Amino acid sequence: MRWRWQLALVLFFLFIASGAGGAPCTTANADCTEWIEVAGEPSRVLVYRTYPLNIKNDAISRALIMVHGQGRDANNYFRHAFGAAFFARSLENTIIIAPRFASNHGANCRDTLSDKELNWDCAQSPEGWRVGGHAVDNGKISSFDVIDEIVAKLARKHAFPNLKVIVIAGHSGGGQFVQRYEMTNRVHDQLGVSVTYVVANPSSYAYLDSLRPTRSAVSSEFAAASPGYMSPLPAKPPEPFMSFPDARNCTTYDSWPYGLNNRKGYVAKITEDQITKQFASRPTTYLIGELDILPLYGFDGSCSAGAQGPTRLARGLAYGKYANEKYGAKHTTIVVPACGHSARCMFTADPALPVIFPKLE
């Protein structure tokens, strides 16, 4: 893979040298960032972006919002998305935005915060940034409000009059974020621009009811591909989805962010019925790494996540099946060959490129 990145850099700088106009900002440093105030408050978040958000740009017809993982390394995710855009030949007509959910709250989260920069809870909890929790220093603003603000800016015609589609993508912790944002945000139908969602390798999903997957929810092809993590099915396999048998001992399995019970703040402002309708109707793709079968890199080993399957691969395959078979969604599941828990591998792989850079009508 290293030669591919080296070739990409050489070709890109040849592209710049050729004098092509409207070249994107290319480096993940201060030159490619700007601050966004959220929900009318002076509090703000930092975003990396390839083009300014407040300058008219007729060339932009597609936007990609890339949400980082638990490491809050928006600069690296900006690089991943930029590389993917280059491979997809979409740099000139796509604006890439990678927001940073910085945290100086918790034993392992010691980001340096700038003046008025929002501070987020980085824990795996209902109040964490990954699932729509509110800022530690401003209870009026949730992490989902940040994306609401960004998509609203993109949809305003004075800056991007030819914008046709916004893709919101995230990997790992960012995948958790995008999956919950897809079902709970209230701006999707108000923008006048098509929005699609790409959920890559999250540790868990929000289920809509008390059903959880059994071994039958994952095809034998993928169970066999990962020896040791799934035992063979019995002669009479169980139904793919059944009431969770250990609910008495795992009392949080159906509470937010694993289910819809006990929601607060942003995600509690709409009913379960509305969440269900939004979930089923919104275009969503699950990108699942074929080799994402190890409990590493922030893997959620709680009983609530374990109720969804033993590995990220199993959980993703089961959830895609659940969305379509139980709720009539037309979501797409793509297993990305030879990728484990790596955002760069996932988003620059050939099967992912047409998903995060959809063809424009």
Model's pTM, two decimal places? 0.91
- Nearest-angstrom CA–CA distance, 343 and 201: 9
Tokens 């979409």, located at residue: 90
Identify which of 51, 37, 29, 54 has the alpha carbon closest to the alpha carbon of residue 96. 51
Residues 123 and 130 sit within 8 Å (Cβ to Cβ):
no
User: What pLDDT, on a 0 to 100 scale, did the predictor assign at position 227?
Assistant: 44
Q: φ and ψ at 350, to 5 degrees?
A: -55, -40
**Confidence category of residue 17, pLDDT binned at 50, 70, 90:** very low
CA distance 258 to 279: 15
R_g of the chain computed on alpha carbons: 20
Cβ–Cβ under 8 Å, residues 56 and 158: yes
Give, rounded to a whole angstrom, the gap between the first and last alpha carbons of the chain.
Answer: 32
Query: pLDDT tens, 112-138?
Result: 999 999 999 998 899 999 999 999 999
Checking if the pLDDT of 4 tops 70, the result is no
- How many other CB atoms are there within 10 angstroms of residue 204's CB atom? 26
The tens digit of pLDDT for each residue in 300-327 reads 999 999 999 999 999 999 999 999 999 9
The tokens describing 86, both together, are 């280059």
In this prediction, residue 224 carries a pLDDT of: 46
Please check the confidence at residue 19 and state whether its pLDDT lies above 50: no
pLDDT in tens, 58-105: 999 999 999 999 999 999 999 999 999 999 999 999 999 999 999 999
Domains for the chain: give ranges and CATH numbers: 25-356 (3.40.50.1820)
Task: Specify the 3-state DSSP secondary structure of 170.
Answer: strand
CB under 8 Å to 273, separation ≥6 — which residues? none
